[in-house]
Amino acid sequence: MRRVVVSGMGAITPIGKTLEEFWEGLRNGRCGVGPITRFDASALPCRVAAEVKNFDASDYIDKREVQRTALFSQFAMIAADEAWTHAGLRGNTAIDPDKVCILLGNGIGGLEVDTESQRKLVEKGPSKIPAMTIPRMLCNEAPGNVSMRLGLRGSAHAVVTACASGTDALGFSLDLIRSGRSDVVLTGGCEGTINVYGIGGFCSLKALSTAFNDTPEKASRPFDVRRDGFVMGEGAGVLVFEEYEHAKARNATIYAEIAGFGSTADAYHLTAPDPEGNGAMRAIRLALKDAGLEPEMIDYVNAHGTSTPTNDPVETKGIKAAFGEHAYKLKVSSTKGMTGHCLGAAGAIEALACVLAVHENFIPPTINLEEPDPECDLDYVPNRGIALPVRAAVSTSLGFGGHNSVVVVKKCTG
Count CB atoms within 10 A of the CB of residue 200.
Answer: 17
Candidates 282, 307, 266; CA nearest to 403 is: 266
**Does residue 377 contact residue 319 with C-beta atoms inside 8 Å?**
no
**Annotation marks residue 157 as catalytic:** no
**Annotation marks residue 139 as catalytic:** no
**Does residue 33 contact residue 231 with C-beta atoms inside 8 Å?**
yes
What gap in Å lies between CA 233 and CA 98, rounded to an integer?
34
- Please pick, among 341, 376, 403, 412, the residue that the annotation labels catalytic: 341
What gap in Å lies between CA 162 and CA 84, rounded to an integer?
26
Round the CA-based radius of gyration of the chain to a whole number and report it: 20
**Does residue 191 contact residue 169 with C-beta atoms inside 8 Å?**
no
Q: Helix, strand or coil for residue 93?
A: coil
Kindly report the backbone phi and psi dihedral angles of residue 305, in degrees, each rounded to the nearest multiple of 5, phi listed first.
Answer: 40, 70
**Annotation marks residue 354 as catalytic:** no
Name residues whose C-beta falls within 8 Å of residue 273's C-beta, 6 or more positions apart in sequence. 266, 279, 280, 310, 311, 314, 315, 398, 402
- Please pick, among 163, 190, 203, 412, the residue that the annotation labels catalytic: 163
C-alpha 289: how far from its chain's center? 23
**Does residue 72 contact residue 160 with C-beta atoms inside 8 Å?**
no
What gap in Å lies between CA 107 and CA 346, rounded to an integer?
10
What gap in Å lies between CA 238 and CA 243, rounded to an integer?
17
Kindly report the backbone phi and psi dihedral angles of residue 243, in degrees, each rounded to the nearest multiple of 5, phi listed first.
Answer: -65, 135
C-alpha torsion 265→312→32→362, nearest 10: -90
What gap in Å lies between CA 265 and CA 283, rounded to an integer?
9
- Please pick, among 304, 354, 403, 412, the residue that the annotation labels catalytic: 304
**Does residue 118 contact residue 130 with C-beta atoms inside 8 Å?**
no
**Does residue 182 contact residue 101 with C-beta atoms inside 8 Å?**
yes
**Catalytic residue annotation:** 163, 304, 341
